[in-house]
Amino acid sequence: MAGAGHEDAAVVFDPLRPKLMRVAYRMLGSVADAEDIIQEAFIRWMGADRAAVREPEAFLRRTVTRLCLDQLKSARRQRETYVGPWLPDPVVEEEEEEDVTLPLMLALERLSPLERAAFLLHDVFGLAFEEVATTIQRDPAACRQLAARARAHVREERPRFRIEKQRGLELARAFFTASRSGDMKGLGAMLAADVSVHSDGGGKRPAAMQPIVGFDAVMKLHEYLAALFRKDGSKLVRAGFVNGLPGFVTLEADGELQTTALEIEDGKVAAIYVVRNPDKLRHLH
């Protein structure tokens, strides 16, 4: 009977899994944590009186959101002790994700858990405030205020310059080629004056402990890296969209993967986001 109950629960749950994963990942910024949340939600779904649930998707979204809110409390404590800059786990896709790009995910980190939930559920996933209120157990007026505060904080992080898909991938490949070959002139032509580099090694692999800001500083960094690449190599695994930004996955000399995402503004690379922490790259193997 237990096996039959599992199969019965899975028939409804499995088609909803991708949507629930999108909610959990955008709430937490961690693929592994989001997967754990989805598994816990399925366990709760198996134990629920499913016959009494009129809207399984709404029920499961509420379950996932509330589990994420609990998880965020401990995640914030972990971030306070994180070594170097923190970046969300990279999700690499063939198509551009338009709803929540990497800069927006970083902006969401500055919100309270409830602000984050209200903003994502209403502004990103399109739920009415009445449903948001039921989900996060606040009244609709409070949810409107939470979303408004969140919107004010993240407004500047919405993409202001849409880039055509093929052009974005071309820039990513050109950036890889110039940065690995030591073509500093070609690389410099791609960079904005106030370009910045944010690298997340998590204390597990070498990475800058603070963002590197400004054209000259970023060029100096890449001159140093190009010398290392000439000696040890860096292999392009694939180009794609990393958390909604043009970028690529590489296999580095130490045998580990790395992702690079490029924030493009007005045709120039405005920010470079590099994830090197192996814990955040396991799902890409």
Looking at the fold, whether 120 and 55 belong to one and the same domain comes out as no
Looking at the structure, tell me whether residues 198 and 266 fall in a common domain: yes
Residues 237 and 268 in one domain: yes
Quick: pLDDT tens for 52-98: 999 999 999 999 999 999 998 776 667 778 899 999 999 998 877 66
Residue 96, in any domain of the structure: no
Residue position matching structure tokens 């598994």: 39
59 and 109 in a single domain? The answer is: no
The reported pLDDT for the residue numbered 5 is 64
* Domain C-terminal end among 117, 132, 158: 158
Domain region containing 44: 1-81
**60 and 121 assigned to the same domain:** no
**C-alpha to C-alpha distances, 175 to 124, 193, 240, 264, 282, nearest whole angstrom:** 31, 16, 13, 12, 24
Instruction: State the pLDDT at residue 160.
Output: 59
The Cα–Cα gap between 206 and 14 comes to 39
Residue range 132-167, pLDDT digits in tens = 999 999 999 999 999 999 999 887 666 556 678 899
- Look at the pTM and tell me if it is higher than 0.85: yes
For the stretch 107-120, pLDDT in tens is 998 899 999 999 99
Max CA-CA distance within the chain? 68
CATH of the domain at 74: 1.10.1740
Residues 62 and 118 in one domain: no
Is 90 a member of any domain? no
Final residue belonging to a domain, choices 158, 180, 202: 158
Strands 212-213 and 234-242: unpaired
Same domain (yes/no): 183, 251: yes
**Alpha helix (H) ranges present in 137-244?**
140-154, 165-181, 184-190, 215-232
Return d(Cα 245, Cα 205) in angstroms, integer: 23
Same-domain pairing of 110 and 192: no
Q: Are residues 76 and 10 in the same domain?
A: yes
SS3 184: helix
At 216, which CATH number? 3.10.450.50
Q: What is the CATH number of the domain that holds 110?
A: 1.10.10
Q: Which residues pair with 104 in a beta bridge?
A: none
Inside any domain, residue 86: no
Which of 93, 125, 158 represents a domain boundary (last residue)?
A: 158
Judge if 32 and 117 occupy the same domain.
no
Q: Structural domain tally of the chain? A: 3
Does one domain contain both 170 and 145?
Answer: no
Q: Is a pLDDT exceeding 50 seen at residue 1? A: no
Asked whether residue 235 is domain-assigned, the answer is yes
User: Is 187 found in the same domain as 244?
Assistant: yes
Q: What is the pLDDT of residues 224-280, one digit of tens each?
A: 999 999 888 899 999 999 999 999 999 999 999 999 999 999 899 999 999 999 999
- Establish if 87 belongs to a structural domain: no
How many other CB atoms sit within 10 Å of the CB of residue 182?
A: 15
